[in-house]
Structure 1
Amino acid sequence: MEDNKNSFPLYHGSESIPKISFMVNVAWGNKYLIDLLELLKEKNISLTFFLEGRWVENFPELALMVRNAKHEIGNHAYSHQDMSTISTEEIQMEITKTNEIINRILGVSPKYFTPPYGSFDQRTIDHAAQHTMTTIMWSLDTIDWRIENPNEIVENIAPILKNGDIILMHPTNSSLKALPVLIEKAAEKNLQIVNISELLKTK
């Protein structure tokens, strides 16, 4: 029986406490991942990386780098399917197989799941909950897979950053270049950048 807290998706943390989180979805973007990890180390920031199971299988050394850098690991399904359109059995496979891979290769049991494309239905949430995972969505989206200009990302996100925001990003060149500025803008607003677990402690 899943916990009530896992029976619905979360889009943000507490709106009364000055904390925000960048969630990093990884199914590609190897070219920029190491530089992203270096930047976060330099800034002493820990985030939550949602890893695709197939990606962890194919690039275990990169996945281990993320874990060893003390970032939180989440489940991003196995093969980037639209979870709202596949069968219940396929949903179960996508989530369960990814948990097994992450546990085997990284020694971690994810507490959080995020669906590919942000697409899900109640079956998806329920199956994640059966694995004691909360489904995480986001309140702001960098759209960095499409927006190549980092200044545009900053202009879209920085003015509206507020308490509790979860900002979706990927390991892209545009996000890598926008992130230092967004970190500065968050600091100007006295917003602390934390991982998902730390963000949700305040809810």
Structure 2
Amino acid sequence: MIKSVVVTLLLGVTCFVYSLAVSGVEVFPVYQVEQDYISSLPNQYVALTFDDGPSEYTKEIADILAARGVAGTFFFIGKRIEEYPEIVQYVKDQGHMIGSHSYEHTNLNLLTPKLLEDDLLESITGLEGLVGHHVELFRPPFGSADDEVVEVVKNNGLKMVMWNRDPKDWETERAQDIVDYFYSYDPSGGIYILHENAETVEALPQILDYLQSEDLQVVGLQ
């Protein structure tokens, strides 16, 4: 059920932002992805996206976001959802957004068109079976997407979500390094790529404090 709808015109881009009301959970702002490929948002909007789950950290990330009234966008790996199906359901029940991060998490540029399509469809089918609705968002592993990958993704009705802000949280050993990245770059219009690890969990409350103090609309992607 859709609680409210806001349509905003910024820099010539029509943005559909609405609050998604899900039975039994909080209402979170959501940005509707209309195009086949996206790597940024209009000014004043920010999206926090999380790759490589589900994992032991997923629930804690989902809980921190929900406590602040914010939807995260989780890109799950097909093989891992088979290990943690209950976590996928938990994220969905919390009201967060879910997309595919491929099935095998390999460089898709190296696959034949047939193997590429098989990987995509296997990951999407598994997710849809767990969340009970159509999954449209896709993020290629390592951000590797040549023209062939882009075409196969589009032909299968998926929307590719890239990013324009990368704190490189996968390589740091200090949560403060992640927070400092947010302070160092203008967050407005940012799609942040984050990963499920202990440092990101530790940094997340301070990140949310900062973004919300800047009067930015933190949105899930759908």
TM-score with structure 1 length normalisation? 0.87
Q: CA deviation at 1:84?
A: 1.1
**Deviation string, structure 1 residues 154-188 (Cα, Å, up to 9, x no partner):** 11122313321000011111111111111111122
Q: Percent identity between the aligned chains?
A: 21
- Which residue does the alignment assign to 2:35? 5
- Whether 2:180 is the aligned partner of 1:155: answer yes
Compute the RMSD of aligned alpha carbons.
1.6
What one-letter code is carried by the residue in structure 2 that aligns with 1:23?
T
Structure 2: gaps of 5 or more residues: 1-33
Distance of aligned partners of 1:32 and 1:5 in 2 relative to their CA distance in 1, 3 Å threshold:
closer
Q: 1:47·1:194 contact (CA, 8 Å) conserved in 2?
A: yes
In the TM superposition, structure 1's runs of 4+ consecutive aligned residues that sit over 3 Å from their partners are none
How far apart in 2 are the matches of 1:131 and 1:88?
A: 12
- Which residue does the alignment assign to 1:78? 103
- Whether 2:199 is the aligned partner of 1:169: answer no
Q: CA deviation at 1:93?
A: 1.1
- Which residue does the alignment assign to 2:143? 118
Structure with greater contact order relative to length (CA < 8 Å, sep ≥ 6): 1
- Whether 2:161 is the aligned partner of 1:136: answer yes
- Which structure 2 residues correspond to residues 65-104 of structure 1 after superposition, within 5 A? 65-104=90-129
How far apart in 1 are the matches of 2:187 and 2:170?
A: 23
- Whether 2:50 is the aligned partner of 1:20: answer no
Q: CA deviation at 1:5?
A: 3.1
Q: 2:45·2:217 contact (CA, 8 Å) conserved in 1?
A: yes
Structure 1: gaps of 5 or more residues: 198-203
Q: 1:148·1:173 contact (CA, 8 Å) conserved in 2?
A: no
How far apart in 2 are the matches of 1:84 and 1:57?
A: 24
Q: 1:142·1:157 contact (CA, 8 Å) conserved in 2?
A: yes
Tell me the number of residue pairs that the alignment of Structure 1 and Structure 2 aligns.
189
How far apart in 2 are the matches of 1:94 and 1:157?
A: 34
How far apart in 2 are the matches of 1:101 and 1:77?
A: 11
**Deviation string, structure 1 residues 52-107 (Cα, Å, up to 9, x no partner):** 11111221111111111111111110010101112111110111111111111221
Q: 1:141·1:167 contact (CA, 8 Å) conserved in 2?
A: yes
TM-score with structure 2 length normalisation? 0.80
Pick the structure with more helix per residue. Answer: 1
- Which residue does the alignment assign to 1:48? 73
1:189 to 214, 218, 221: 214
How far apart in 2 are the matches of 1:162 and 1:141?
A: 11
Q: 2:53·2:74 contact (CA, 8 Å) conserved in 1?
A: no
Pick the structure with more strand per residue. Answer: 2
What one-letter code is carried by the residue in structure 1 that aligns with 2:166?
D
